[in-house]
Structure 1
Amino acid sequence: MITKPFISPFFFTVTITVISFWDTQIANAETLDDAIISEFVADNNDGIVDEDGDREDWIEIWNTSGEAGDLSGWHLTDDPNDLTKWQLPAIEMASGGYLVIFASGKDRATAGSELHTSFGLQREAGGYLALVKPDGITISSEFRDYPRQTKDVAFGVGIEGEAPITFFSAGTQAKWHVPAGPVDDWTNPDFDDSGWNSGETGIGFDSPGGRYQPLIGAGGDAGDEMRSKNATVYIRIPFEVADPTGISNLNLRLKWEDGFVAHLNGKEFYKESAPGLPAWNSRSTEGGRNEDNATSFFNYPVAQGGLVTGTNILAIQGLNSSAGSSDAIFVPELTGVFKDTTNLKEGFFASPSPGGANGIRYEGLVSDTSFSVDRGVYDTAFDLIITTKTEGAEIRYTTDGTPPNENSGKIYTSPISITGTTVVRALAHKPGFQSTNVDTHSYIFPDDVYGAQFSEALTAVPTISLVTQANYDLRLMSVASTSELPSRTNERPESSQVIVALVSGNIHVRIINVHIRRSQETNRLEYQTVIDKSESQLTNGVEKTDLQNLLNQAPFPDTAAISPETQREIIDKAIAISGHTPRTPFLEDSNNDYIEHKSSIEMIYPDGKPGFQEDAGMTNFGGGYTNFTKKSFRLYFRKKYGTAKLKHPIFDGFEYNNIPPTDEFDAINLRSGSHDMSRRGGYMASRFVDDTMLDMGQIAPHGRFVHVYLNGQYWGQYHLRERWDAEMASNYFGGKKEDYDAISSNNNGSEFQNGSSYNGT
């Protein structure tokens, strides 16, 4: 008999299996005995949307009974004096399933449709929420005087203990039968199978020496009854459960050939390669299954039905490809997870999981850090004070651009003296609480750049401060001289010291000697590496460059006579030799997309007007033809970094008579000026064309000039510009960005697909 496992008070696991049930329909289900509110969100700003496209607050109900059942007659309420305020319809839930209900006040209670309560949720401290049983009196779960709720953070109950359960494994006792005609109710728990064959799983047959022979249990060989007679075999496996409460995540593990239909306690929950209405002599709907797959366990969630106290029955109709097939196999196992629902703890969940198991529970949320001096442009030193309202929280900070965490960074104990351009990043944390995000403040002192004579120029336009962990300063300290490099026709072996690199100011790479020759067969350069061990002390024992974070690469010094193609070929191969993907100036992933690095971006106005700080994904763009030290940057705003959209009027202050700029952006570009080059007027070409088009009433990217600092170092003047893409089109032409196809390609038209020219109709 399966009993609930002992859960140590110190045992804690976070379940990652997600089972989502927005509304489920199970025929003839009985009213549930147990269910609880597992989590709710009272300030849904950037989460799920309802059928109207609104981001309403929501409540999640979890079926903890261990059985499938009906919520008919249950109630939700936000008023302790009105326990029957809103009644649920006949929505049915699988064992361990979840149901999400919007707390919108829209009052929609139709089974099979999206559900909305007649009330909303209180965000301020002192709120109330309860789930009440059909008698209108018994409170199944409640949150009384819950704390103030935070935007896009869930509040609910966490499981303090859970453990996996195996109800039965391969080799368990089963009953099996090859029918000669219809057999009524054979999947039901109370069916009399005493006249069936007895045997251990797996059930099936194979020729002597066949791959399935070792899988067939004692008494489980069905060859005599199936061969040339029937492609179907019925299998029933009984198992005992003392109490199903708290058991969820039921999962069938099965080795099978060639199809099956699975039932738990009379309810079908999964079928594979099976007809819609299987008969007593059905066969699989697909041909013979690959034997490698057939001898491996595959997982199938039990999405219908559930457990009962006492004897339970897993019933499987095994299907062969035909009655004349030479083999078949069915080896089932059933597993689940026990969650101790008697030991629930209230708390916050930083990552809401509507329709799924809750994640890590926090006792509270640490209040955000507060800086006594805001980001900005300064000419006088000052002391910076960092605080948090959470009592007992520790603040950690950095001034080197790295993000602090709970275990790294300086511990804040006293004011920080700011005497020059400095980037301060801070985080507050407390055991058992959700830590704050990393706050970033850049303090710009223009005099640090070239002295006071340039201060006026550096404060004439806004400043963009970028802070990233990408290695942006890669300078090649030693490159083969021209005489050592093979010419385009040279076929004799050459030896050349290729690279010692300085990454972010520190030597990190080994000296590599590379023998280079041109293959007579392929006319391509071939390389063989020789590591000069005597130079290892120059690298402090580090033998490989950390080039995976390469962001901005300087040009090759003293190599003007070497063709750009040869330079790139040699450096790419040198990087490959060191064990890293060869891409310059910025690494690409397997999809040929530039790798994004989570970075901070701040916009600082010289007149003290409030700017913004957001985290975004930063990468290089362009530079495929030019090879300048100063690279262009693109910043993508995505939820995985922080905000899904930058919402700020970054082009405010400019007069546009025809097409005013938007104030919402998925991505923005920082153009270095290398695109324009000296013959185009340096910095002027793109800006002139864009503004001229806009003045003519035609769509073009809006832009402005800014000064850029990268990790606190002045990086030069840049052209801040909208990015041409589908999102930009939707901002100015209407509709959704999904309505547009954005083509981004440098070509003469030959790469576009053929089509008909638009005739204006």
Structure 2
Amino acid sequence: MQLAEFEFLLDGVKVGTPSVSNPGGDNPGGETPDLAVDGSLATKWLDRRQGPLVFDFGSATTVDGYRWSTANDAPERDPVRWILEGSDDETNWDLVDERVDGDFQTPSARFTYTPILELNSAPAVQSFTVDRSLISAGVPVTLSWEVDPGTIGLSINQGVGPVTGVTTNGVGAISLDPGPTVTTVYEITATHANGDSTAQLVVTVTNMPVIHEFLATPAIVGPGESSTLSWEVFNADSLELDGVAVTGDFLAKTLAASQTFTLSATNANGVVTREVSVTVVEPGVPVINEFMANNDGDLVVDEDGDDSDWIEIYNPSGAVADLEGYFLTDDAGDLTKWAFPEGTLGVDGYLLVWASGKDRSVSGSELHTNFSLKSGGEYLALVKPDGITIVSEFGPGGSDYPDQDAGVSFGGFGEGQQQGYFLRATPGTENSSGFLGYVEDTMFSVDRGHFTDSFSLEISSETEGASIRYTIDGATPSKSEGILYTGPITVDRTMPVRAIAYLDGLKSTNVDTQTYLFVDDVVTQSSVTTQSIWRLPADWSGTSPDYGMNSSVALLHAATIKDDLKTVPSLSLAMPEEDLFGSNGIYANPLSSGINWERATSLELIDPSRPDGSMNFQIDCGIRIQGGAFRRFDLTKKKSFRLLFKGAYGDTKLRYPLFGDLTTDEFDTLIFRMESNDGYQWDNRTNVQYA
């Protein structure tokens, strides 16, 4: 993948020059990502791995379009399909624009810009937030919003009413005192010349204690200096700081060394804790800045080519650090487990130490500890040459650092030096923004399967205060897309339910998918019902669709077909209908092939032979049309599929005994072949096979 320049635009004029990175990229010949925004068509960015470009404007920036330029050579490297996403925290990303080469003519000439690619008009509601999303009953909250200045009417439900009068230049806020006494969904409605726009948020009311804030000010001090710990807590009967009872809402601490503090709030319903760290910076004293305990090898490997764990040492002080005699350890009972050899680390310098267990400590060479890190959590510390003084640690007080996911690093971030995860690991460079942890996965009260009667479906997450959005049409939900879950869902027809849970400061869950098959719907499915009930399109790029069950099959087996269907293992694909049947959908364009005609999907197996669901599975993967001549609509409207299991979607393999125990149970790809020459579309067939 390559391009010479990438420009963001407002009213056709270039907007600023963002910093840009290319996580995981392979940039030969110095053709680095910064060259994509250097203002010159004579330079270019090239990435052999086709990784993302990440643009950072440093603050909120308004754009309404963008364009990019072809580079000097190799037209086959030109972008032909891409997704543009936006984020305000580098953790949760929302879709802004998606393009394929069919949307416009990619310039074939070199050093040539694309036409301006206009973004959809900004919604009238640009943001709608609350200062406290998790509260005790009645605690005051403040709702804030930013809307298009052209908005002519603005109101909030739940009795708040019109708020145009407290909005200036599109920005406004209102305090609710007392706050809600039960979990409440607030919806703001903006009336605009282009129509109405809405946004929602949830304020969750809990009977547990709530630690709204726990801060250290300042978070970085010198030896013997003090930091003030402050907190805002609701609905707590008692508070403890590192196991000692405290009162009030602040406490000053004088520190000789870096320390992590734990605040515990307790009432009759349970205990809630929050941590904050204070870093004591001594001249010439380094710290552990970041580590990865589950290295997937995508960013860095050691000198042997192994994807060993790594620990990043950083010198934040204003003096050169003498590393000789410092220790790294993963055992709180053995603080001198591995010693640094002779060496120094300059001011603001970084050093990568491999936690590989290979035990190499030759000065000037790659350093390897005599231990590796546990992805399931353990202790990690950097210790001064006296073998006693801990400079920095993860897993204080006998605890372990939390579970670590593959390719995700952990360390300190933010002014408060909170310990958390980095979605974008930065070995050897400044840390990116982070998040404190993960939202607990969504749970469905009813598992996928075959059904005849309607039922109520509940979706939940064990993360207190988390919001859930879901879809029932195959679309992928996000924190800004989908239906906000406020109570049980009535499932009375065939539908895929896809859900995501999210909470500010935490990484959202993945999208979970559960498909519920109603056999009556399958038997009576027709082109009419699929268009009226499931809203599928009325044509496939000019070809009339065929969505229905073959009526001759249904009539021939009318007496038993419903019971028969409930005994047959079923495969379910859930994805946005436009990706399958839309103008750029793969089914509507079956002659198109290659990576540009691959789409994301969810695959489920529903096996009724095990009513407990133990033989069911769900996996996210890619999907393409498969085949040769029978891709053509004039030969058949039924197409074969090829499924590809890639890291871009989730697991890199399907691990399941699809064909029993006598053959492999791991698959890189699957082909669902519709048996063209033995298929239902031929008249008078007696040996019909179905895929």
TM-score by length of 1: 0.43
Work out which of the two has the higher radius of gyration on C-alpha atoms and give 1 or 2. Answer: 1
Kindly indicate whether structure 1 or structure 2 has the higher relative contact order, using CA contacts under 8 Å at least 6 residues apart: 1
**More strand per residue:** 2
TM-score by length of 2: 0.48
